[in-house]
Every structure is written in C-alpha cells, then in structure tokens.
Chains A and B, each alone.
Chain A
C-alpha cells in the first residue's frame, strides 16, 4: 500500500516536470475552435523551429476580453485572435492592444465589396481582419418540413406568426452575433422601422440563448428550426452532415470579420508580429479556408468557390458594410429595447 502511494507520487511528479519543460513560447488567446487552433499552432511551429505556440480559449470573446483585462498588469498572452472588429475596437479603447508593425503582408487596407470598400485593418494598426463573415438566418430544413413550414427568406419573414416559438436567437445584450443581426436591421430599415420588425420577431422567438454556440446546436438538433446567427458555423455543420443551411436575408446582410491583434505589454512583440503576418499569409489563409473561413486576402480562393468573398457577396441582395458610428449612436437604444423584451418574458 505504502509502496504503491510512493510510486504514484513519483509518477505524478515526473509528469508534472515534463509538463513544465518548454522552449520559446507564444501564448495566443483565441476563441477559435480546437481543431483549427491546433492546425494554426502546428503550422506556425513548423515555420519557426524552437517556438511553441499555446492557444488558450477562455470560453468566448467576452470571457477572453475579461481575462485580458484581469491580467492587464501582468499580461499572460501575446496575441488576441478571433472575434470581430467591434470587440477589438473595445479592447483597443481599453488599452488591451498595441499597434503591430507588419510591413507589407499583401493585404490591401481596403477591399472592394458590393458597392463600397471594406477596411481590412485598424487605421492605427491595432488590429487586422483575417476572415469575413455574414449575419443571417440558419434553418433546419428537415424539421421545417416536418412542421410544414416554409423557409424564411428575410428578417421581415421572421415576423410571420406561423413561426411562433420556432426561432432561437442568442441574447443580443450578451452576444455580438445577435447584436450584428440587430444592427443589420438598423442599417436596412432605419432606427424606427426596425422595431416593427423586432416586435414581430421577438413575439416569435422561443428562446433567447445565453450561449451563442448553443444556438447552433439547438438548430442542428431541430429543437428550434430557425436560428439568428452567422454564416460560417452553419457551413461547417452543413458540411458535417446536419440538415441545416444558411439563408442570406433579402432585406439586408451585414458584413463582419474575425480579427487579430497584439496584446499590450507582451514580452514577445516581434514573435507576435510574425504570428499575425503568418495569419494573413497566403498559406494560413488557405488552411483557414479548409475550415470554411472566408479569406480576407484576395486571390486565395477562386471567385467561383462557394464561400469565396466574391461568390458570397453575389448571393446577397442588400449588402451592408459595418458602420461603427451608427452602431455606437444607437447601441443604448438597442440595449434598452432588448432589456425590455427579455425582462418582460
């Protein structure tokens, strides 16, 4: 018995010691999914011998920012990765990021999209977009057929009482995915008409999920045949065989992005810059496309490819570019409205 315990302690100590041994390290906070995170780390390690990349997911973009804030005096991370520009602007304003000097990485500062230009980076180089995504509607067509319901084609369609209780949305007070869908209606309908739409959608929403990712799971399962979401995860679940698809709302689709930036106070600034340049490189942009991330770098995917930026934007009738000023102006009103919606339940 005693010998057994001693042996156990020794084994644990050895395990412990091996776990502590390490080389030059780069710590990346990212909410990207595990498989992709691993690929990203391995590819960067292969190009930079002697470097170990640790990707840490604190459980969502909000939690990631909270963790960065808590660690502000002694930063543990070198790079903040994934999450949209809106969140990065917040992180920048709170002193969590520092500018990166990447030199020329081959991604223009703006790329043409629809009738306008989409910026690909912060003007002061605090953060850089690395993929593009769109807000819209996810449906489980198998379940819709079972319920004899037609597929909705726009936000306005979602106000139809036939969908009562069949819609799930993340909580817009907590989820940027949901907030971006709200902003899409703001830009499409204006600050007054949008509430006619949302009064109707709110009446049909069966569940405001506090977990964004769970929204996708619930639609996959058919628990709620309709979800208010972003496109990329839907593509992924569709590719995995779930009976789901993404619908670009006819009344307006808001463009969003995934960004990356350097954590303020990192001791590995050069390595972090190298990492960001690698994220924007042709190679990594192509690997990202394997996981259905639409690359921001022009020319990585041929324009005919089903989720290339060119092809996706062709399917969109009303393409809305992000308008940060408008969003900031109406954010308090949106917050108040949704607090009322949710509290009245």
Chain B
C-alpha cells in the first residue's frame, strides 16, 4: 500500500491554477498560535532562564527526583490509556456495529464524564471510593481488602472514568468511515464477525484508535485536577510545575526545568505517533456507510457489557446528583438531609451561566476554524509540519501557566487605546489557545483518513486548491469535525486554569464558580452547578445533532 501512495504523490504535485487562497488562512491560524502561545511562553522561558545560570546551584537530587516523577506521570498516562482503550474499543464496536438497543444513546450517557469539571469528578471519586466512600463501605462490608485512592490506583481510576469517553468518541467517528464494501467483501469470503473486526475494521480505523489513545495519554499527562485532589504523595509533572510556578514559597527554577522537560517528552511522543500514523496509512476514497451485524448472541453480550460499563462510569455522577440535593454527608450512606437550597443559590447567580454560554459561543466556531486550517496546513505544506508540535503545547502546560504568560506578554500592551487585557477578549483568546490542541488532535485522525488521490484528481480536472479543499476534503472530514466540535465545546466550557488567572471583572464562568464553592467546602453547591453544566452541554449537543441532521448528513 505505502509504495503505491508514494508513486501517486510524485504523479500530480500541484494543481494548475495559480494562487492558493488557503495560504492567508494558514497565516491567520499560525499567527494566532505564535502571538498568543509562542511569544508568551517564550517570554516566560527567557525571563526565567537567567535564574538557571545564577549563582545558586540546583538541588543535587533534582535530576533524580525529576526522573522519578516523570516515570510517575508516564506510568499513570500509560495505564490510563491502556485501560481506556480496552474499554472504548469494544464499547465503540458494540454501539456502532451490533444494533444494540438504545443505539447512540449509550454514547450520550458515556459522554457525561467528559462534561464534568475535573474538580467535581475527582471529588466524586472521593465520595464513592474514598476511605469513607459509599462504595468503600459496601466493599468493606463484603469483606474486600481496604485500598487507598490517594495515589496511583485512585488516579488511574479517576482518569479512566474521566478520559475514556475521548477515545470512545474518536473511535466511533472512525467506525463511521469504514467503507461498507470492505466489510461486505470480508463477509462474503466467509470471515466471521470477529475476524472482520480484527482483520479489517480495527486495522482500518487504527489512526482513530491511535489518536483516541494519544488524546487520553496527553490529557492524562497534563491533568492537574485529579492529582491535586487525590494524588497526594504520588507526584506528577504538571502538579510540580503548577505548584512551584504559582507559589512564591516554591523554587522558581523548577517549573522552567520541568516545563522544558515535559515539552520534550510530548514532542517525542508526537513523533512516535506521527511515525506510526504514516506506517499504517491505508487510504480509501470510497464513501463510507457503516454496516451493522445482526448477531443476537453477540448483541446480548455487548448489551450486558455496555450496561456494566455505563453503570460504572455513571456511578460517580449519581453521587454528584445525590450530593447536590444534600446537606452534610460524612460517615453515613446518604446525606443527613435533603434540600433544594443548593440549586436555589446557584440559580440566584445566573451570571456565570450566561458568561460560560457567551464564551463558548464565541470561542467554538473560531477555534474549530483554526483547527481545520492548521490541520490542512499540516497536510498541505510539508515544510510547516513542525508547527503541529507547537500547537500541542497547551495539552501539557498547566492552564494557570498559560494564563499568566498571556498576561505577562500582552497585559500591558494597548492597541490604539484598546486595552485587551481589560476585556473578555483576553479570556476568549486564552481558552481558544488552551483548547485548540484537542480539536487539532481529533481532526488529525480525520485528515489521516483522507486519500490524496481524490484531491489530485480534482486538481488535474482544473480545480484550485481551495476548491478541492471545499468540495473534496471538507465533506470527507465532516464526521470528524462533528466529533471535534463536541469535544471542543465541552473542553471550552469546562476550562478553569487559564480562566482563573485571566477573567476580567464580571466574567466569572461556571467552572470558576464551582472551583470557589468546592474550595469553600460547599461541595453540594458545587455539585449543583456541575449538574447544571452537564445539562447545558447535553442540551447543546442535542440541538446541534438535530441541526446537523436537518441539514442532512453525508
């Protein structure tokens, strides 16, 4: 296969028509990233680089310590990714291929963990599996040995519960693109369902599996919410960076050393992923139509599997719902009393809800557009491939660091009397930059699936690059753009780190409110706000599904 594509690439190199109208759009995308990510982070790096060459030497055991927490981070990310894929792949196949009852309803249910702000979901794990957790009490009563969530096992569980849905969404998007004729051919040659899945379907969607895994891996590597709340003595890189960067009691040099190091690791990782993607590139230009299988016994097993997984994944959210209606909840099975006051308080301050909606509505189309442009640039302009690595930085650099770097670089700059840092514009920019890599990663799986030959054919027929992009690439990219949009909207509305540092007067968002409530020990109130956030995103997705259906799918 790979030989064939190489020959093709040499055959038609460029379209006939002159100026590529996509280039200005690439410039816009790249300029945005340079202005609001590269320059701010570069500035912070340069400012603090001086500290490293200062007279005081770094602690001697720093390197050893760094290696240990690097291993902590990587081990956590690997375990989370492995288990997430082990759940997501069969779940996706079950949903997409086996005509299970409820159909896509499972996807909706399993997306709930994605929507929940990290602080709330980590606290849900404590409510459920902590020392005084409901499930812990039950398990102890049944004679299971005690186990502590404050450390690696707890982190892995929390992160799987939180991150598995990413890979599920991406893999589902992949399954929708598997050409029907391939599966039909395998079937007519006598291949069983399992054989077709193992030999045809899964290898075909390998880029999506890889990308789903990468998304989980990188998000786990950069996650700060769970390690802050339950990591405790199991220290990971982002927490080291965050705590040392923000606290003046900490060592100023540590975050710089650690940031540089984590960037290196992530680049290495992306390099491997890109190499794997290239190695496995099987491209087909046929229009996909998902085919399903009518296998009652497998379907029953799949339904049971989905039910168990869904229950496990939604249990923490059941505790959130209970807690949102409760008062004090300590050593008992349920809260001491139930009340509606938490919701009353939350609704009495609806500004946060309004703010979050405006920010998402403003940032979503813009960020999605940037992601598509940067993805197309990565495909179209081989010389700019390295740029992809830069776009990815916000994955692993804590949001607070990104927020502070933007303030430092642009906070004092006024353009024609317009004070950027004083308006909500700065917040829009920061959350877009912070969440851009999520969209770019998801889209890259979609781009990897698109065969160049169709595009080249259109070129040879006289289409310009921009026409080819509009008529050939975009339609093929649609399912992945939808998936990216879903993930992106969720990531935008739950952004916390950068928002906390940047929000201008009057622009508190829902996650900021939740953060305040949880910090004040108002878990119940935070939970109520969390439930509202989940409902908003669910309704939003339902509406957008409705709209995209009305326009008619491919």
Interface residues, chain A, with chain B CB atoms under 8 Å away: 1, 8, 12, 15-16, 19-20, 22, 25, 27, 33-35, 54, 56-60, 62-63, 65-67, 70-71, 73-74, 76, 90, 140, 142-143, 146, 171, 173-174, 176, 179, 206-211, 213-214, 216-218, 220-224, 233, 236-237, 240-243, 335, 339, 342-343, 345
Distance to closest chain A CB from B270 (angstroms):
28
Contact B501 A142 (CB under 8 A): no
In the assembly, what is the distance between CA of A242 and CA of B243, in Å? 29
Residues of A within 8 A of B512 (CB): 57
A71–B406 CA distance with the chains assembled, in angstroms: 10
Could you pull out 9 A-B pairs where Cβ atoms are within 8 angstroms?
Answer: A12-B361, A19-B358, A20-B423, A56-B505, A71-B412, A171-B243, A216-B521, A218-B126, A242-B521
Does the CB pair B247–A62 fall under 8 Å?
A: yes
B518: A residues at CB distance < 8 A: 213-214, 217
**Residue total for B at the interface (Cβ-Cβ under 8 A):** 67
Give chain A residues whose Cβ lies under 8 Å from the Cβ of B206: none
B248-259 interface code vs A (CB 8 A; 1 in, 0 out)? 111000000000
Q: Which one of B336, B422, B506 lies within 8 Å of A76 (CB-CB)?
A: B422
Asked if A59 meets B515 with Cβ closer than 8 Å, knowing A142-B330, A173-B249, the reply is yes
Nearest CB of A to B143, in Å: 18
Specify which of A73, A143, A213, A237 is in contact with B331 (CB 8 Å cutoff). A143
User: Judging by beta carbons under 8 Å apart, are A58 and B132 in contact?
Assistant: no
Bound-complex Cα distance A284 to B484 (A): 50
Known A34-B513, A63-B400, A208-B232: A74·B411 in contact at CB below 8 Å: yes
Q: Which of A34, A217, A236, A237 contacts B123 (CB 8 A)?
A: A217
A67 — nearest CB in chain B belongs to which residue? B501
Q: Contact: B231 with A237, CB < 8 Å?
A: no
Contact of B519 among A33, A62, A176 (CB under 8 A): A33
Checking B59, B327, B523 against A217 with a beta-carbon cut-off of 8 angstroms, the contacting residue is B523
Q: Which residue of B lies closest to A335 (CB)?
A: B249
B271 to nearest A CB, angstroms?
A: 31
Q: Knowing A34-B516, A74-B411, A213-B518 touch, does A146 contact B506 (C-beta < 8 A)?
A: no
The answer to whether B358 and A12 touch across the interface, beta carbons within 8 angstroms, is yes
**Contacting residue for A56 out of B232, B424, B503, B547, CB 8 A:** B503
Alpha-carbon gap, A66 to B59, bound state (A): 24
How long is the Cα–Cα vector from A289 to B364 in the complex, in angstroms? Answer: 44
> Within residues 473 to 528 of chain B, which ones have a CB less than 8 A from any CB in chain A?
500-501, 503-507, 512-513, 515-521, 523
Looking at the assembled complex, report how far the CB atom of A72 sits from the nearest CB atom of chain B, in whole angstroms.
Answer: 8
Given known contacts A1-B550, A74-B411, is B233 in contact with A207 (CB within 8 Å)?
A: yes
Is the beta-carbon distance between B248 and A57 smaller than 8 angstroms? no
Q: Which residues of B contact A176 (CB under 8 A)?
A: 249
B13 on the A face (CB < 8 A) = no
Question: B49: CB under 8 A from chain A?
Answer: no
Known: A34-B513, A174-B243, A217-B123. Is A76-B232 also a contact (CB below 8 A)?
no
* Contact in complex: A67, B513 (CB < 8 Å): no
Contact A174:B250 (CB < 8 A) given known A27-B505, A221-B330 = yes
- Complex alpha-carbon distance, A58 and B229, angstroms: 18
- Which B residues lie within 8 Å of A210 (CB)? 227-228, 231, 239, 243
A124 to chain B minimum Cβ distance, whole angstroms, is 21
Quote the shortest CB–CB distance from B144 to chain A (angstroms): 18
The 5 closest A-B pairs by CB, nearest first: A54-B505, A73-B412, A213-B519, A74-B412, A345-B233
A173 to chain B, nearest CB (A): 6
User: Is B408 interfacial (CB-CB < 8 Å)?
Assistant: yes
